[in-house]
Amino acid sequence: MPGLELRSVSKRFGPLTAVEAVNLDLPAGKFISFLGPSGCGKTTLLRLIAGLETPSSGQVVLEDRDITALPTHQRNIGMVFQSLALFPHLNVWNNITYGLRIRGMPQADRRRRAGELLEMVRLPGVEERDIKQLSGGQRQRVAIARALALEPTLFLLDEPLSALDAKLREEMQVELRMLQERLGITTIIVTHDQREAMTMSDLVVVMSTAEVQQVGPPLEIYRSPATAFVADFIGSSNLLDAQCVDPSTVRIGESEFSVPSVPEGARSGDALTLTIRPEDVHVLPSGDTASNRLPGRVSFVRDVGASVELFLRCGELELISISAPKDRPEARPGDDVMVELPAESCVVVRR
Amino acid sequence: MSAHSRPRGLVPHLPFAWPALMLGCFFLVPFAIMVVVSFFHRPESGVGTYEVGFEFTHYLRFFSPLFARHILITIEFAAVAALLSVLVGFPFTYFLSRFRRRPQVLALVFILCVLSLSEVIVAYSWSVLLSRSAGISNFFVWLGLLAKPASWTPGYGAVLFGLTYFNLPFAVLIMYPQCTRLDTEITEAARTLGASPLRTFFTVVVPMLWPTIMTAAIVLFVFTMGAFVTPQWLGRPQHWMFAILISDQALTRGNLPFASALSMFFMAITLALVALTVRLGRRKIER
Amino acid sequence: MIPRVARNVFCWLVVLSLSLPLFIVAGVSLNQKKLMFFPPRGLSMRWYEEIFTKSAWLDSLLASLGIAALAGVLALSIALPAAYFLWRYRVFYAKLLFSIGLMPFALPPVITALGMLMLWVPLGLAASVHGLALAHGIFLVTLPLVMISLGLESIDREIVEAAETMGASPSRTFSTVILPMVVPYMFAGYAFVFVISMNEFIISFFIGQFSLATLPVKIFSQLRSGYTPTIASVSVLFILLAVVVFSLVARFGDLPRLLGAWTPKER
């Protein structure tokens, strides 16, 4: 099924480029996250899809139809805003059925539909309430019901959960995902929280400084980041400056490390970055030299209960290792240790 | 400092003393004088004098067709001009608040310049604009819309135009703060829900800013009630508003007790109409 | 929003009709003969010279300038402590004082004018520059009062608390922390009082008692006795004054903020 396609879409605000030549092909019926730090252009990209901004160049194509010039109100989208943007002058059910009223649905039908929608977002019986009388989580649900009232082709959410506290946020993430699976609607959420993106999405679009860095399923992005930025942004990563030796070896300082592969086209002597997840860094007692190992010293130990983090110093390099409490290595600050970077866990990207 | 502590002792009260003294002596005392004088006696021959006394003579003089006519025309002008200026001013202010920063600042400077213009200058420029020799009718003749230049002043329409013009910049400045506070996401939300821009304006922007629109209408109404130069200049004697009668009694005829009584009556009418409008406005919101 | 073209056309129409009378007056002021024509017949600057050479006009100009300058100082001296007192202590009499300060703008000004006249005459304040400056300072106090309050409201109270934890006394906090932050608002308030006092008519008319004429009163009486293009040239001078003052305010201050603009995202 054809979904949403962006063809080299750019957006400039005066001298500032918010989105630079973005090409995306997003399949229908999927849950997609735009993930990136603040100011990376992800919200602008969402607003371009909604028609709230007009692209400086490029096309937006929805279900094989070019909608670049179509005004927002003719696009049939549902959107949840960061501020939620509920109408303060209308009560709950009038908020939810605002779009239906525009379409001329009779009042009795709208009333019934409002009930169904509130049922769907698990907030029944608040039809007559004022927006001011609702809690943050309840407002969230009303905003979602309102966005879905017109059975839109696209469901867009702009950091909708950022105002909620951590516990409620995680509940809503699961609930949103289940709702989306039930309705099978193409959904795009903008977020800067990688956990949120990982929890909910079929597909994650990682952005930084106006450009798309990588598109893929959450696990793929986590396991094999395409760039140093992605590796760093998705969970914490150790980023080590390396030099290419041959297609399966890189050099870090004086030591050589074998790796599964190097980026395509990298030649001997090219500057690369070796990334490795902290949970893949093994800490062994001092002395056992072997390949892919470095001697080092423990500089700090952080024990947060659920996991233990060791801060390591190997000559010029600084590394972090995370392990579960039961695998906790016997190490205290100041101890000399041997640090192992298993070849299969190393991902080498261009610098 | 706790956020709202109470001032204790003399020193913390010092910043209160000077403003209270000044406003008390030079704003409240004149008021009190006016209330008292409105009951005083006016000697037959004395111009600009009064004698201590207590009489309702001046208040009883209101019950004449002349005053009824003038108070009615005053209310009519004030109401229509307030309505017109809000009608034009509200969309303008709302659009203005959506401008980018630079044009917005420029427009505000322009509005402030028009606002600061003396009522005298405004009335004068309208009298020029509507006059036969230098007015806009010459332009219409040039365009072929009129056969020969016409004089449109003095007249009812000229007064109304002048008052509305004078009010418009105030209307803009009164509504401006609330217009800027309207989050753009609210109107964007209406658009994602299928409302056309015009529809959004009437179903979201106007209802949300209704209290602001009402406030502006009331303030402008009070404001226009006191118009002095415009009706005198651009209107005929039957268009003279109440402020002219007060000044005529006070300055030309020197009847201060009667002028005071007129002022009290004028203030009472103004406040009553404001109270009424507020009530009507509130009912409209609840509906 | 509303289709952009329609919106722009509407805004330009409003701006145009607001500036139309100003253009006409400017044109009339350039007439060579002592008659009112638009477009002007023959160009001449003599009506501008007259403002500065004829003593009647020059006296009025100087009186207006003096009154406006003094009224601004007086209005600030009342507004600043009143606004500060309300901001610092939310006691009922502070609120009462504040509402009294708002009243001049909530009443038809002719009433204030009459009341003042009846006090000013026995006190010997009528028809004098300082008497009129006092009247304008009181009458226009609302403007700096509202503006300084806006400025105070924008101060984070934690900043004040921070100063106090570092040992600053209330008066020290006021002069080193609060005052510097409200200075732009005071500056704008002064500019507003100055320009509006220059243009104010009815109070000047009542208190001036026909013997002290500010420029608007002078124009008013001149128009009664017969037309002279000097009226137009004075009007142009006023427009220029307003343009200069408000452009300066916009240049050195955040004008939208001073006028109460506030967007939810700023917080």
CATH code of the domain in which A210 resides? 3.40.50.300
Among C residues 4-43, those touching chain B with beta carbons less than 8 Å apart: 7, 10-11, 14-15, 17-22, 24-25, 27-28, 35-38
Query: What residues does each domain of chain C span?
Result: 61-254
B127-130: long-range pairs with CB below 8 Å, 24+:
B127/B153, B127/B158, B127/B233, B127/B234, B128/C21, B128/C24, B128/C25, B128/C28, B128/C36, B128/C38, B128/C232, B129/C20, B129/C21, B129/C24, B130/B158, B130/B161, B130/B234
- pLDDT value for C37: 67
Residue after which a domain boundary falls, among A228, A261, A282 = A228
Closest CA to A350 of A233, A237, A225, A246: A225
Burial of residue A342 (CB within 10 Å: 0-12, 13-18, 19+) is: middle
Q: pLDDT digit string (tens) for C179-225?
A: 998 998 999 899 889 988 988 999 999 998 778 889 899 888 888 77
Q: How far is C62 from chain B (nearest CA, A)?
A: 17
- pLDDT value for C265: 45
Torsion of CA A95, A101, A105, A111, to 10 degrees: 20
Task: Using only the alpha carbons of chain C, give its radius of gyration.
Answer: 22
Q: What is the mean pLDDT of residues A173-186?
A: 90
Which of the four pLDDT bands, split at 50, 70 and 90, describes residue C266?
very low
Say whether both A128 and A214 belong to one domain.
yes
Q: What is the mean pLDDT of residues C19-36?
A: 78
- More confident of the two residues B209 and B279: B209
In a domain, B136, yes or no: no
Residue A254: what are its φ and ψ, rounded to 5°?
Answer: -95, -15
User: Could you tell me what percent of chain A has a pLDDT over 70?
Assistant: 99
Say whether both A24 and A93 belong to one domain.
yes
Touching C (3+ Cβ pairs <8 A), the chains are B
- pLDDT value for B189: 93
Q: What is the mean pLDDT of residues C48-77?
A: 89
- pLDDT value for B4: 54
- pLDDT value for C161: 82
**B199 pLDDT more than 80:** yes
Assembly ipTM: 0.82
Say whether both A110 and A217 belong to one domain.
yes
Q: Which residues of B touch C196 (CB under 8 A)?
A: 116
Say whether both A37 and A114 belong to one domain.
yes
Say whether both A219 and A93 belong to one domain.
yes
Q: What is the mean pLDDT of residues A174-195?
A: 90
Say whether both A255 and A220 belong to one domain.
no
The hierarchical CATH code for the domain C61-254 is 1.10.3720.10
Tokens matching residue A152: 């839109």
Cβ within 8 Å, pair B191-A150: no
Q: Which range (A199-208, B79-88, B162-171, C160-169) has the least confidence?
A: C160-169
In a domain, B126, yes or no: no
Q: What is the mean pLDDT of residues A331-337?
A: 83
- Chains A and B: how many Cβ contacts under 8 Å? 73
Q: What is the mean pLDDT of residues B115-128?
A: 82
Cβ contact B93:C259 at 8 Å = no
Q: pLDDT digit string (tens) for A78-119?
A: 999 988 899 988 999 999 999 998 888 899 999 999 999 998
Chain C interface, best mutation among B14, B26, B110, B241, by max C CB count within 10 A: B26
Say whether both A221 and A253 belong to one domain.
no
Q: How far is A16 from chain B (nearest CA, A)?
A: 15
Q: What is the mean pLDDT of residues A305-327?
A: 85
In a domain, B265, yes or no: yes
Work out whether the CA dihedral B149, B154, B156, B161 comes out positive or negative. Answer: positive
Chain C interface, best mutation among B118, B191, B242, B246, by max C CB count within 10 A: B118
**C102 pLDDT more than 60:** yes
Q: Which residues of A touch B182 (CB under 8 A)?
A: none
- More confident of the two residues C50 and C178: C178
Q: What is the mean pLDDT of residues B10-25?
A: 88
Cβ contact C141:C97 at 8 Å = no
Q: pLDDT digit string (tens) for C111-129?
A: 999 999 999 988 988 889 9
- More confident of the two residues B135 and A27: A27
Its domain, for residue A206, covers: 4-228
Q: What is the mean pLDDT of residues A216-235?
A: 85
Q: What is the CATH number of the domain that holds B84?
A: 1.10.3720.10
Residue after which a domain boundary falls, among A195, A228, A261 = A228
Element (H, E) at C89: none
* C134 contacts chain B (CB < 8 A): yes
Its domain, for residue B223, covers: 70-96+154-286
Residue C134, C-beta contacts closer than 8 angstroms, at least 6 positions apart: B26, C71, C74, C125
* Structural domain total, chain B: 1
Cβ contact B244:B123 at 8 Å = no
Locate the DSSP E strands across chain B: none
In a domain, B21, yes or no: no
Residue whose entry in the numeric block shows the structure tokens 């010293």:
A297
* Structural domain total, chain A: 2
Q: Which range (B132-146, B196-210, C50-64, C97-111) has the least confidence?
A: B132-146
By DSSP bridging, strand A203-208 and strand A211-216 are antiparallel
Which of the four pLDDT bands, split at 50, 70 and 90, describes residue B284?
low
Say whether both A271 and A325 belong to one domain.
yes
Say whether both A47 and A194 belong to one domain.
yes
